[in-house]
Amino acid sequence: MRSRQRMFAAVMRLLLKCLRLGRRRRFKLMRQVEQLWHYGHLCLRSLLYNSFTNGDVVLDSLFEPVYWLVDHVTRWFGVVFVALVIGLTSSIVAIVYICLLPLILQTYTPAWVCWHLTYGHWNLIMIVFHYYMAITTSPGHPPQAKNDLTGVSICRKCIAPKPARTHHCSICNRCVLKMDHHCPWLNNCVGHYNHRYFFSFCLFMTMGCIYCSISGWDMFRDAYAAIERMKLLEKERLQVAANQTYYQTPPPTFSFRQRAFHKSVVYLWVLCSSVALALGALTLWHAALITRGETSIERHINRKERQRLQKKGKVFRNPYSYGSWDNWKVFLGVDVPRHWLTRVLLPSPHLPHGTGLSWDLPPCVTEQHAPLLAI
């Protein structure tokens, strides 16, 4: 009996030792796995570590395929967008000349006829001139030789000198002087040398669309009512044709010319009103940027800089802003009062102030402002 008890105690001791050894081995294995995990995580962070990395950089990296797709689609579809602008504008001009102008000459007084002919043709000339100059004028690019520039940074994408207010366009794959944005409707970048043409085109196109919408409001109502009447009479004609007897006469039908005239008037008014709203909002946005002496890109940069300096108790000042009135004079190239007529109200291919490489005080600025970023 005692021998059995001893044997049982020995077996139990052996079993407990095995359990202890299993626990130790299991804990040791878990510790090894945990150490390997921490070591791998540390190696990965050491390979990808960058002191400048933040949430914005990670988000840009994740959206890089989307940016690539948008850049290439915009580059190839730029010609399509330009053709669309020319086609839609030409269709409106054709409707005005074919449908509306004969009606204006027959029904309006001589004073109103002179007004419409003068203003309409002036507005059309300004639209065509500024759009042509905006799509054919190069926005300006910095020189590749570094010796020609002083105090500039280097673009990390094209590895070339990058003057102040210059930014790299991923669609054109070049740096652009005083870049505002890449416009697919121009198939060109908006920069130092064609920024005025772009804004003038937007302004005069908006004015032309508002002019067509206001002038054609009464014609639009009459044309829309006529189209509704056409639909009603067409429905009655089909009903009569289905149940026609020898004494019934079908309602009169409208000719193709009448249908085309009324539908063209409705098309003109709807298109002009839509473009006036959309392009008018864009024009007001750019007018506000010009008033502050900024571009679309600088608007975001200056806002972040303003918030950063505000946390430090400092005030941000735009070094390229000379005051609201002087900003407009610099942007439009108005040096003397007569330039408001010859350079603003009439087509003018004059160059902007400066070369886009350095930003000295323009001669049209009345007083010099402190070119400080922060005080």
Does an H or E element contain 94, and which?
helix 64-95
Q: Which two tokens stand for residue 172?
A: 């054109």
Is the CB of residue 181 less than 8 Å from the CB of residue 198? Answer: no
Helices (H) and strands (E) in the chain, counts: 11, 6
DSSP state string for 323-368: -HHHHHHHHHT--STTHIIIIISS---PPPSS-SS--PPPTT-SS-
Confidence class for position 246, pLDDT limits 50, 70, 90 = very low
pLDDT of residue 374: 37
pLDDT of residue 170: 84
Confidence class for position 373, pLDDT limits 50, 70, 90 = very low
Confidence class for position 348, pLDDT limits 50, 70, 90 = very high
DSSP E strands, 87-147: none
pLDDT of residue 65: 74
Which residues, at least 6 apart from 316, have a Cβ–Cβ distance to it below 8 Å?
A: 302, 305, 306, 309, 310, 373, 374
pLDDT of residue 372: 41
Residue with tokens 């001589």: 110
CB atoms within 10 A of CB 239: 12
Is the CB of residue 261 less than 8 Å from the CB of residue 222? Answer: no
Catalytic residue among 183, 202, 209, 212: 183
pTM, rounded to two decimals: 0.77
Q: Is 155 a catalytic residue?
A: no
Confidence class for position 171, pLDDT limits 50, 70, 90 = confident
Minimum mean pLDDT among 42-46, 128-132, 155-159, 367-371: which range? 367-371
Rounded Cα distance, 372 and 317, in Å: 6
Digit-coded pLDDT (tens) for 321-335 = 898 999 999 999 999
Segment of 3-7, 291-295, 367-371 carrying the highest mean pLDDT: 291-295
Q: Which two tokens stand for residue 52?
A: 């400048």
Higher pLDDT, 23 or 281: 281
Segment of 198-207, 212-221, 238-247, 348-357 carrying the highest mean pLDDT: 198-207
pLDDT of residue 369: 52
- When pLDDT is averaged across residues 21-40 and rounded to a whole number, the result is 72
Confidence class for position 71, pLDDT limits 50, 70, 90 = low
pLDDT of residue 235: 74
Residue with tokens 């945990």: 34
Higher pLDDT, 293 or 251: 293
Minimum mean pLDDT among 21-35, 222-236, 262-276, 299-313: which range? 21-35
- When pLDDT is averaged across residues 71-85 and rounded to a whole number, the result is 82
Is the CB of residue 271 less than 8 Å from the CB of residue 215? Answer: no
Phi-psi region of 109 (alpha: psi -120 to 50; beta: other; left: phi over 0): beta
Average pLDDT, the chain: 83
Rounded Cα distance, 349 and 258, in Å: 43
DSSP state string for 131-175: HHHHHHS------S-GGG-SS-EE-TTT-SEE-TT-EEETTTTEE
Which residues, at least 6 apart from 38, have a Cβ–Cβ distance to it below 8 Å?
A: none
Is the CB of residue 146 less than 8 Å from the CB of residue 175? Answer: no
Minimum mean pLDDT among 116-125, 135-144, 149-158, 314-323: which range? 149-158
- When pLDDT is averaged across residues 354-371 and rounded to a whole number, the result is 73
Which 8-state DSSP code applies to residue 183? Answer: E
- When pLDDT is averaged across residues 205-230 and rounded to a whole number, the result is 91
